[in-house]
């Protein structure tokens, strides 16, 4: 074995490399190779079994530094033809069981008790690393989904840290900040383009940060003048109270929601057709009405006559059980259709 009782630093470096390999998303073969090389083994194998789902377990194996194409068969062979030490750890939730084996040729010395303990430490770290990596991955998927939905609703989101600096922005918020029309980014901080309104904004942010630190949730609205002459940009400033989670104190933050009143929620043509049982032509008319166009403008943009557009509208009314154009717009914008992807081509 490579480790000695005096080699605490060496073991710490090895443990750190194992952790980094797992959290970086590197193939599991990389982690196995680290364990194999450090413990002077000829091969290392890992088997992951989902005890709740059943089925065949996943097997990973490195032999003399290279990943094996048929790991399950090679594992069975090594168990009969080589010295080995193993350790097993099971997840408290999720039903996953991890088993790690290390092998040496029969001509080499057996694994000792200390090496068996190292094997147990490594498989425990593999379990923790995999579960943490999965949680991070799930959180990232959730964040992306929520951000995408907010973008489709034309709502921008800016998250501020305890000092007022920007931690992250959604795509819609980035677009609004890049226009510098009522709101802008200066030295990592959110600023209104009008000096008087900026003082009001900074005071509101400061109060929200203080409220968050005190565990109080507050919400305030501010309207910012736009130099372009368009309607005011609306902001909602919301304190996000400090919360203790699993022994870690979260940083007090503030969420700022902004929405351009000139913007329309995106409506996907194919979803309109599917959700309301419309023809492609009817869906095209409905999309344009939901975007704020009049029936005449919708007909013009589709290059059809007003009478044809009116006929499509009557059919839409009949299928959806409504009688007024304003009801149609409300129905569509309150439905799941606004959550769909924007089409590549205009319907």
Tens-place pLDDT, residues 101-120: 999 999 999 999 989 999 99
Question: Residue 330: pLDDT band by 50, 70, 90 thresholds?
Answer: confident
Please tell me the predicted confidence (pLDDT) of residue 250.
45
> For 8-139, which CATH class?
alpha beta
Q: What is the mean pLDDT of residues 154-183?
A: 90
Q: What is the pLDDT of residues 174-218, one digit of tens each?
A: 999 999 999 999 988 999 999 999 999 999 999 999 998 888 989
Which range, of 122-136, 151-165, 255-269, 317-331, averages the lowest pLDDT? 255-269
Q: Is the pLDDT of residue 242 over 90?
A: no
pLDDT at 346: 43
For the segment 260-281, the average pLDDT, to the nearest whole number, is: 82
d(CA 83, CA 102): 8
CATH 1.10.10.10 in the chain, residue ranges: 269-339
Q: How many degrees, rounded to 5, is the angle at CA 156 between CA 153 and CA 161?
A: 145
Q: DSSP class of residue 226?
A: -
Q: In this predicted structure, what is the pLDDT of residue 343? A: 44
Element (H, E) at 326: helix 325-333
Write a three-state SS string for 149-197.
HHHHCCEEEEEECCCCCEEEECHHHHHHHHHCCCEEEECCEEEECCHHH
State the average pLDDT over residues 143-170.
Answer: 85
Strands, E assignment, the chain = 43-50, 58-63, 66-67, 83-90, 96-104, 155-160, 166-169, 183-186, 189-192, 219-224, 233-240, 244-245, 248-249, 253-259
Q: What is the pLDDT of residue 305?
A: 95
Q: How far is CA 225 from CA 156, 195, 249, 273, in A?
A: 17, 11, 37, 38
Q: Is the pLDDT of residue 258 over 70?
A: yes
Q: Provide the pLDDT for residue 265.
A: 66
pLDDT reported for residue 9: 78
Confidence of residue 307 (pLDDT cuts 50, 70, 90): very high
Mean pLDDT, rounded, of the chain: 86
> pTM for this one?
0.60
Report the share of the chain in percent with pLDDT over 90: 51
Q: Which CATH architecture has domain 269-339?
A: Orthogonal Bundle (1.10)
The topology under which CATH files domain 153-259 is: Beta-Lactamase (3.30.450)
Instruction: Among 82-96, 137-151, 319-333, name the one with the lowest average pLDDT.
Output: 137-151
CATH 3.30.450.20 in the chain, residues? 153-259
């Amino acid at each position: 074995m490579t480790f000695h009782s005096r080699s605490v630093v060496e073991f710490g470096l090895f443990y750190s490399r194992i952790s980094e390999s797992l959290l970086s998303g590197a193939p599991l073969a990389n982690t196995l190779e680290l364990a194999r090389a450090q413990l002077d083994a000829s091969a290392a194998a890992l088997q992951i079994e989902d005890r709740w789902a059943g089925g065949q377990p996943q097997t990973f194996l490195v032999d003399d530094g290279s990943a094996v194409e048929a790991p399950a068969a090679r594992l069975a062979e090594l168990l009969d033809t080589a010295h080995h030490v193993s350790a097993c750890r099971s997840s408290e939730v999720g039903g996953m069981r991890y088993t790690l084996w290390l092998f040496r040729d029969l001509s080499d010395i057996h694994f000792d008790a200390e090496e068996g303990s190292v094997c147990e430490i490594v498989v425990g770290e593999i379990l923790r690393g995999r579960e943490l990596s999965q949680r991070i991955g799930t959180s990232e998927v959730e964040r992306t989904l929520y951000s995408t939905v907010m973008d489709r609703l034309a709502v921008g989101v800016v998250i501020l840290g305890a000092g007022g600096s920007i931690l992250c922005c959604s795509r819609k918020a980035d677009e609004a900040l890049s226009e510098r029309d009522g709101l802008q980014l200066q030295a990592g901080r959110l600023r209104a383009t009008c000096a008087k309104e900026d003082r009001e904004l900074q005071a509101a942010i400061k109060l929200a940060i203080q409220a968050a630190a005190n565990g109080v949730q507050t919400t305030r609205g501010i309207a910012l003048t736009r130099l372009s002459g368009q309607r005011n940009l609306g902001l909602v400033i919301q304190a996000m109270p400090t919360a203790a989670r699993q022994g870690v104190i979260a940083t007090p933050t503030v969420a700022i929601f902004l929405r351009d009143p000139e913007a329309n929620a995106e409506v996907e043509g194919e979803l309109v057709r599917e959700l309301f049982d419309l023809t492609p032509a009817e869906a095209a008319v409905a999309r344009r009405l939901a975007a704020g166009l009049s029936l005449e403008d919708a007909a013009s943009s589709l290059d059809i006559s007003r009478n044809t557009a009116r006929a499509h509208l009557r059919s839409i009314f009949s299928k959806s059980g409504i009688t007024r154009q304003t009801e149609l717009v409300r129905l569509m914008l309150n439905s799941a259709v606004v959550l769909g992807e924007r089409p590549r081509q205009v319907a």
